[in-house]
Amino acid sequence: MFHGSYVALVTPFKDGEVDLERLGALVDYHIEAGTDGLVPCGTTGESATLSHKEHELVIEFVIEKAAGRIPVLAGTGSNSTSEAVSLTKSAQAAGADGALVITPYYNKPPQDGLYSHFAAIAEECDIPIVLYNVPSRTGIDLLPGTIGRLSAIANIVAVKEASGSIDRTVEILAECDITVLSGDDSLTLSLMAVGARGVISVAANVAPSQMAELVQLAASGDFASAGHLHHQLYPLMKALFVETSPIPVKACLEMRGLIEGELRLPLVGATEETRQLLRGILAGLEIKV
């Protein structure tokens, strides 16, 4: 169901509030650039510091602005199962095409707890669910066996895999026939070579047409051309994580005049060293700043 280059959309702020004007412009920008889908309110969207009202506002606004032109996969996860159910129901009511649900962070449940968490959300909501595994952020790893068990639930259709391991995709697909999406830009090509169907991408915020082309080439089996593009984009992919994401990606978009660049505490703006690095990389990609 979900495949291609989905952008992990930033949330623009202005004077402490969600900047809906810039957010709407970003939606149009991605559709025009060939991005395959939009993911509001994920990690890159600073979901951790959005209020519930803001969370729902951003998702509803992106769905309305996209107007069915490309799918919207709404971030609705939480470390509280009841809260994740509530956010997912809200996204479903707003018309989202799917929900991206992160593993519960901080409370570190065992695998049976993870299974029960996602199963409860899927039971309460009819919307397609994409599991999101990012152990470096959450402190817990959703293992292939658990993903295999969860894949038997009809509306759990995919997993965003960001463990940093190519082997993990192989292990998941050995367990079940679920769609795997890369959660690491720099591993997208490698993961697609072993069966992944696309990426939920931070780099697509900055280079949307290039990321979409890379995924299309890999999906068609043209790994030589996809590899050439991967090598061009690799410095950007890595530089977007020299500081905690989304600090660098917001700096890039600010330099391009697409957003104000404002972040919410405890995140702060990029250092001048990071900005200089990013300027050089953008110049090398012929992206104007």
pLDDT, tens only, 234-282: 999 999 999 999 999 999 999 999 999 999 999 999 999 999 999 999 9
Q: Does the annotation count 160 as an active-site position? A: yes
Cα–Cα dist 211/275, whole Å: 22
> What pLDDT is stored for residue 253 in this prediction?
98
Q: Across all residues in the chain, what is the average pLDDT?
A: 97
CATH 3.30.1600.10 fits 4-220, yes or no: no
pLDDT higher than threshold 90 for residue 1:
no
Q: What is the pTM of this model?
A: 0.96
* Cα–Cα separations (whole angstroms), residue 141 to 86, 104, 185, 195: 23, 10, 19, 20
Q: Where are the domains of the chain?
A: 4-220
Q: Please report the pLDDT score of residue 286 as a whole number.
A: 87
> Residue 91: its pLDDT value, please?
98
Selected catalytic residue, list 6, 160, 234, 250:
160
pLDDT band at residue 187, thresholds of 50, 70 and 90? very high
29 is catalytic: no
Q: Is the pLDDT of residue 288 over 90?
A: no
* pLDDT score recorded for residue 20: 98
Q: Considering only CA atoms, which of 287, 192, 188, 202 is closest in space to residue 248?
A: 202
Catalytic-labelled residue, pool 29, 132, 238, 250: 132
- Contact indicator for 280, 289 with CB cutoff of 8 Å: no
C-alpha to C-alpha distances, 232 to 72, 186, 236, 251, nearest whole angstrom:
28, 11, 8, 20
Average pLDDT over residues 167-193: 98
pLDDT of residue 113: 98
pLDDT in the model for residue 289: 76
The 10s digit of each residue's pLDDT in 22-75 is 999 999 999 999 999 999 999 999 999 999 999 999 999 999 999 999 999 999
Of the chain, the percentage scoring pLDDT greater than 90 comes to: 98
